[in-house]
Amino acid sequence: MSENLESFSLLWLDRSVNASQENIAAQSKLRAIINHLKTFEKAEECEKYIRKCPETDRIVLIVSGGLGQQIVPQIDQLPQLSSIYVYCMDEKKNREWSKNHPKVKHVLASLPKLIHQIESDQIRKDNTEESSPISVSETNKPTDRSSIGLTSRYVYSRLLIEELIRMKPKSEDKEKFISLCEKQYQGNETQLKYLKEFQDKYTPDNAIRWYTKKSFVYRILNKALRVQNVQLLYLFRFFIRDICHQLEKYQCSTPVTVYRVQSISHDELQGLKRSIGKLIAMTSFVSTSLDQDRALKFRDNNSDLPQVCFEIYADPKVEGIKPFANITSL
């Protein structure tokens, strides 16, 4: 399979992972939840693969009880490992050893229950962990809304996006993007169905609707913005441009206070604590809620990452502010 264009990967470690029709059928169902699936029969190969992954990756691991006791103590502190599911015959026995490892979220003996649990958990992760890094200003002047003092990464990202928006998309950009996605989702009937719908029905006027569907478009764009995949963002510029134009069209005319719950790294949390009163910036589109209680419902109590609730006051009259809109009716 080609490079993973999404943030999450799913690994399945079991000596018989490919030995039964039930497991093979389960792999197709799991790919409908997390597309990038790799299977392993040996703990050493699985651990080697995980350690080679960047720390910014988000890995979900399914592991048998026996191999879990072998590999989990070696990897449970790795930041790229998001969560672990133990699929076994003896739930009681495996809950005993796994209770000392917080990243083990569930111990299950039923394959259908395992798939359902991963699907349920992933919906919540999509809301809180599909996010961009936070850049913090070095200046102590919160009123300075320019990019002065912000990290070079943020400044580069901002200039890149502005240039992509200015560029007129080519007619073949969308087809190249679709071709890339066809290779990425080969064999994944669920996402290929969404891709066909995107190919047939996408228009500039429904860009935001496609982004909020939380389908492949949402996940690919978020990762491309987070890791600054310039080649992919260049292909995606038609979509980025359309979203920005829609936000400008439906720009709020009065100030609003909105809320967002987001998982962040431990380093980002410490950076925020040290930066009270300073300017922060995010390098992607940010979905928020007007209702704080509603935003807090998206908290993922099983996440291994710290979670924060951002309260954002947005005033359209502020000079140089980026467009924002209430998209509930779109």
Contact 72, 63 (CB under 8 A): yes
**pLDDT tens digit string along 292-304?**
999 998 887 777 7
pLDDT at residue 131 tops 70: no
- Please tell me whether residue 176 adopts helix, strand or coil conformation: helix
Long-range contacts of 287-292, Cβ-Cβ distance < 8 Å, separation of 24 or more: 287/212, 287/260, 288/258, 288/259, 288/260, 288/312, 289/258, 289/259, 289/260, 290/256, 290/257, 290/258, 290/259, 290/326, 291/259, 292/259
Please say whether the structural domain 8-128 has been given the CATH code 3.30.2010.10.
Answer: no
Q: How confident is the model at residue 138 (pLDDT cuts 50, 70, 90)?
A: low
**pLDDT tens digit string along 151-190?**
676 777 788 888 988 988 888 889 999 999 999 999 999 9
pTM of the entire predicted model: 0.87
Q: How confident is the model at residue 130 (pLDDT cuts 50, 70, 90)?
A: low
Q: What residue spans define the domains of the chain? A: 8-128, 134-314
